Homo-oligomer: A and B are copies of this chain.
C-alpha cells in the first residue's frame, strides 16, 4: 500500500473545523485538480460555487437540515451539474443544442462527482478534511434560487472543507466480496456476508457512542428506505430542463 492508497483508505467525513482559514490559492489549486478528473466526451460539465457570505451560508445551513458545519466550515463549495455552458458553446456556432436527455443528466452528474472527489482527495492530501452535503437537495429549489442558477444547472451537493478539529475513526465498509463480483452479478452469498458485516457496524457504533447507538448496517438501511426520498427531485429537475426524455 503506497501513500496515496493509504490516504484514500483513511477517508472519514470531517464536520468540525479549526478556525484556521484556507488560503484561496489552495482552493483554486484544488479546483484545478478537480478539473483534471476524467470528463465524459470532454464536456467538463461541473461548475463550483464557493459561498463565503455568512448570510448566504446561514440560509444554506437552514436548507440543508440545519447541519451546522454548512455555516461554520472555512470553505463551502456547491458542486453544480452544468450544461448551460454547453448551450453557450453551441450558440457560439449557431448550433441548435438538443437537451432534456436522461443520458445528459447522467454524464453531467458523473462529471461533477469525479471532479468533487478529486477536490476532496486533494484537500485530504494537504491535511484538510471535509464532507459532502447531499442535504442541500432537501430544499433544492431554494438553494437554486439563492445561488441564481439558470436552466440546465442544478446543485448536486455541497462540500465543507477546513482543517480538522476532530479525528473520527474510519467507518467499516461492506466486505470486498459483496461489492466485487466476477463475470456476472451473483448475490447468493450476500445475505450471509451482510449478516457478518452488520456485527462490525454495530460494534463500530457501540464503541463510538459508548453504547448509545447500536444499529447494524441492514437495520439502518431498512429504517431509511421505508421513507420517501426527496420526492420533489424529479419535478425540480424537469423544470431545469433535465430528465425530460
Interface residues of A (CB under 8 A from B): 1-5, 7-11, 13, 27-33, 35-38, 40-44, 46-53, 56, 80, 84-86, 88-90, 92-93, 95-99, 101-104, 106-107, 109-110, 113-114, 116-118, 120-122, 125-126, 131-132, 134, 137, 147-150, 153, 156-157, 170-171, 173-174, 176, 178-187, 190-191, 194-195, 217-231, 233-234, 237, 243, 245
Contact = CB atoms under 8 A, between A and B. Distances in A.
B103 A230 contact: yes
Given A38-B11, A148-B186, A222-B92, A104 B229 contact: yes
A217 to B, nearest CB: 7
A11 B36 contact: yes
Per assembly, the copies of the chain total: 2
**What 3 A-B pairs are tightest by C-beta distance, nearest first?**
A4-B125, A113-B113, A95-B222
Contact of A121 (B27, B53, B121): B121
B102 A176 contact: no
Contacts of A89: 194, 217-218, 221-222, 225
28 contacts: A4-B121, A4-B122, A5-B30, A8-B37, A9-B33, A10-B36, A11-B37, A31-B180, A32-B173, A35-B176, A38-B132, A40-B132, A40-B134, A47-B179, A56-B183, A84-B187, A85-B190, A89-B194, A90-B222, A95-B222, A98-B226, A101-B230, A102-B243, A106-B109, A109-B113, A110-B157, A118-B121, A234-B245
A50 B180 contact: yes
A125 B2 contact: yes
Given A11-B38, A38-B117, A102-B243, 4 more contacts: A42-B221, A50-B182, A88-B190, A234-B243
